[in-house]
Structure 1
Amino acid sequence: MELRVRVARPWLRVLAVAALFLLSTGVGPSHVAAAQPSGAGAVCPDTAPAARSSDTAQSQGTGVRIPRDEAPHRDRAEWWYYVGHLRGVDPQGRPHCYGFEQVVFQFLDKGPEPLYIGHFALSDLTRGTFQYAGTPDSHPIPDTTDGFALDTGDWTMRGGSGKATLHAALPEYELDLQLRSAKPAVLHGDRGTIPYGPLGTSKYYSWTSAQAVGTIVDHGVPVQVTGLSWGDHQWGDNDFTIGAGWDWFSVQLTDGKQYMLYFVRDTSGKIVETIGTLIHPSGRTTKLSPAKLSTTDTGSWTSPRTGITYGSGWQVTVPGGRLTVTPNLVDQELDLLSTVGAVYWEGSVSVRGEIAGSPVTGIGYTEIYPPRPT
């Protein structure tokens, strides 16, 4: 993957951290940017069905345990992350289609109190536009067990045991969702512990079939929406200032199969760690061999804001087949460097390909976090 990265100097990173604390105390507005349309309104992708399943499973032995590990930990970095695809019809009978991302980061190494950063992005696939914001906050770790109750300013995230409620807002959109998982929690790697390349190791599990119901207020018009979401929770003693990056894919196929694929890169952009999980329609999981996984860019896009060149379209090899992953909007970059110190591409994608000789289609989300030379 070709990357042309405009890297912040160390003193700019210091200023970015200082800005986090100014914002968290209410000094200055949170950073909001609306991207120009990436072209005509995209075709609304088919929403893959969420399989019906029984109660959520817990790991055995010393691995990640649900619901205990839904609550915040005392590690250096932790995040709770939801993405998904939503459809709805407004009161005038007009159909709408969206992709969304809401994530809360917890950092314990940025100051005297924990630092919380919320990211929220809305891909309006009907209008062909993308809008996003980042909101920092600072407060003690929430005192919860068997669940989480996270605030970043007015944005909220609550949940546990495969259920969650989300609230976040942008100048032209407001999201309120209720999520309920239809499959057990998926523990990646070794009972929920993954190798993380130069970042060490990380705890990581996912809710890969979260059925979503709620409302999006779209330019002042309430749209009742339903759809399919994906939730991640990851934590560890990870120092992201070392400049490592990754390509990450969540894939939800219409035949009920799902994939989590993680390609971790060192500061030069070389893939140094590959993690993959196949989730079967029943909820059973298979740990995938790194030797049978690969990703290749099929195109590129250069951000007019940051100068970063990202892959734009990917050919992904999995055991028994290949998947072609296509962005539903070309420009889904979150340029939050000036406010919360991060810039990456995270967006709604469509998936097609062939597995075991049969054609497959589906939806997904892709995150490209570019490595940065140190």
Structure 2
Amino acid sequence: MLLADARFKPLVFVLCLLSGVSGCEPTSVPENRAADILSQQSQAGFEQVLPGQPLVFPRDHLSHPGFRTEWWYLTANLETAKGQWIAVQWTLFRIATQPLSGSEGATGWQDTQRFMAHAVLTTEKKRWQAERFARGGIGQAGVEGEPYRLWLDNWRWQGLESSPFPATLTFSDSHSDAHTDAHTNSDTSMSDSSMAATLNIRSYGNLVRQGEAGYSQKDPKDPRLASYYYSMPFLLLDGVVTLDGETIAVKGEGWFDREWSSQAMSEHQTGWDWFSLHLDDGRALMLYQLRSTQHVPFAFGSLSWPDGRSIALSSDEASLTPIATSTLSGREIPTRWHLQVPAQQIDLDVQAQREDQLLPFLFPYWEGPVTASGSHNGQGFMELTGY
């Protein structure tokens, strides 16, 4: 999911905004040019992703300021005592405005690290979301170990040791919210909207190194376009969420992703489709494809077990096919998919639980909970960009 990843589309504007570059107003970077900008964001001096470099822990749970971009990403499907579902997405992004080699000794307001965070809570009837930005170097946001901690303002991931788990995630946001009909793109009402969450998170399975031992190539013909990528897909969560003043106990399953890199994507790549699924036989499936104007989509993924077993899936072993779309804010978004991994007897119909999940951040992208049926039942998250 990185770097040729939807999660980095918002970073295009943020990188400009927080580094003081002119000509980066949101209107100057329309959605259909985000891929162009991402494909050009490599810059001499940043560290590069190379195959054969082992991931080392707990070091690689922390920040990698020599690389241009990275993120810490949680998604979760939760349930109330009454059987109602609530989905959670929480992300911390780090962006370097210039290479470390050109910013040695920069501290305080001159620090070259910038941060952005997204928080989203979704139910069947409504979605709550918030986006925040911060500078590094002044205590407003950061990443620390011993004990492990991520934070931006009062949004905080607090671990107990040097690992991300076990941990408690807390965030809250309150604002006036314009409710928009996704099919007409017209404001229908204004109301006060508030959300908060306190979630305890623990891992019951092993860490999964995606790609080749953590080296995840994003273009089939260019090994330079890659990220370091690992997942912790076997998480259990419990706690409370508060939605518009109502506090609700929840519990369920989650997925944690980490990636970092300096080179985003190829000029010819136009968008991404990403799925993380917990199957009813206990396995975790990740499938991801990048669409291109020059070749068929480049697909890859992994299938993992809680006991530590994991197999990488190549483009000729998996297929991702859209089978139905929804019109959201004038865009045709594929909200139902057919996913297949024939060698593993996986044949799934994946459906968005809530179709209106085009998140209204600086660069909108679709992300939300999904259900799976067919050869297996399951649930998870889907992320779509470039439509």
| Range of TM-score over shorter length | 0.7 to 0.9
Letter paired with 1:87: E
Letter paired with 1:368: L
> Which residue number corresponds to residue 155 of structure 1?
155
- Listed as ranges, the gaps of 5+ residues in structure 2 are 1-9, 21-51, 99-109, 175-193
Q: Deviations over 1:86-123 (max 9, x none)?
A: 1223xxxx554201100011010379521111011111
Matched, 1:81 2:84: no
Q: Within 1, Cα distance between the matches of 2:371 and 2:92? A: 25
Letter paired with 2:130: A
Relative to the length of structure 1, the TM-score reads 0.74
Give the counterpart of 1:105 among 83, 90, 93.
Answer: 93
Q: Within 1, Cα distance between the matches of 2:164 and 2:12? A: 38
Identify if the C-alpha distance between structure 1 residues 364 and 72 changes in structure 2 by more than 3 Å, giving closer, same or farther.
same
Cα distance, 1:138 vs structure 2: 1.0
> Which residue number corresponds to residue 312 of structure 1?
335
Q: Within 2, Cα distance between the matches of 1:134 and 1:325? A: 28
> Which residue number corresponds to residue 115 of structure 1?
114
Identify if the C-alpha distance between structure 1 residues 244 and 64 changes in structure 2 by more than 3 Å, giving closer, same or farther.
farther
Q: Within 2, Cα distance between the matches of 1:325 and 1:291? A: 20
> Which residue number corresponds to residue 172 of structure 2?
169
Q: Deviations over 1:330-364 (max 9, x none)?
A: 11111212xxxx2210000001121xxxxx10101
Q: Within 1, Cα distance between the matches of 2:247 and 2:89? A: 19
Q: Within 1, Cα distance between the matches of 2:241 and 2:294? A: 37
* Contact 1:165 1:176 (8 Å CA) reproduced: yes
> Which residue number corresponds to residue 378 of structure 2?
362
Q: Within 1, Cα distance between the matches of 2:208 and 2:252? A: 20
Cα distance, 1:256 vs structure 2: 0.3
| Other structure's SS at 1:336 match | coil
Q: Within 2, Cα distance between the matches of 1:139 and 1:71? A: 14
Give the counterpart of 2:61 among 70, 74, 79.
Answer: 70
Q: Within 1, Cα distance between the matches of 2:74 and 2:142? A: 19
Identify if the C-alpha distance between structure 1 residues 146 and 269 changes in structure 2 by more than 3 Å, giving closer, same or farther.
farther
Letter paired with 1:122: L
Letter paired with 1:78: E
What is the root-mean-square deviation in Å for CA atoms of aligned residues?
2.8
* Contact 2:143 2:151 (8 Å CA) reproduced: no
Q: Within 2, Cα distance between the matches of 1:136 and 1:130? A: 21
Relative to the length of structure 2, the TM-score reads 0.71
Cα distance, 1:154 vs structure 2: 2.3
| Other structure's SS at 2:60 match | helix
Q: How does 1:260-275 map to 2 (within 5 A)?
A: 260-266=286-292, 268=293, 271-275=296-300
Q: Within 2, Cα distance between the matches of 1:176 and 1:169? A: 9
* Contact 1:178 1:214 (8 Å CA) reproduced: yes
Letter paired with 2:114: L
Q: Within 1, Cα distance between the matches of 2:349 and 2:69? A: 32
Q: Within 1, Cα distance between the matches of 2:18 and 2:53? A: 36
* Contact 1:71 1:147 (8 Å CA) reproduced: no
Give the counterpart of 1:210 among 218, 235, 248.
Answer: 235
> Which residue number corresponds to residue 293 of structure 1?
318
Q: Within 2, Cα distance between the matches of 1:116 and 1:14? A: 13
Letter paired with 1:224: A
> Which residue number corresponds to residue 182 of structure 1?
204
* Contact 1:78 1:236 (8 Å CA) reproduced: yes
| Number of aligned residues | 304
> Which residue number corresponds to residue 281 of structure 2?
255
* Contact 2:149 2:158 (8 Å CA) reproduced: yes
Identify if the C-alpha distance between structure 1 residues 101 and 289 changes in structure 2 by more than 3 Å, giving closer, same or farther.
same
Cα distance, 1:241 vs structure 2: 10
Cα distance, 1:139 vs structure 2: 1.2
> Which residue number corresponds to residue 51 of structure 1?
none
Give the counterpart of 2:373 among 332, 342, 352.
Answer: 352
Identify if the C-alpha distance between structure 1 residues 274 and 283 changes in structure 2 by more than 3 Å, giving closer, same or farther.
same
Cα distance, 1:79 vs structure 2: 0.3
Q: Within 2, Cα distance between the matches of 1:143 and 1:330? A: 34
Matched, 1:326 2:351: yes
With 256-265 and 151-160 compared, the bigger mean Cα shift is at 151-160
- Listed as ranges, the gaps of 5+ residues in structure 1 are 1-11, 23-60, 355-359
The structure, 1 or 2, with the larger RCO (C-alpha pairs under 8 Å, 6+ apart) is: 1
With 277-286 and 160-169 compared, the bigger mean Cα shift is at 160-169
Identify if the C-alpha distance between structure 1 residues 351 and 147 changes in structure 2 by more than 3 Å, giving closer, same or farther.
farther
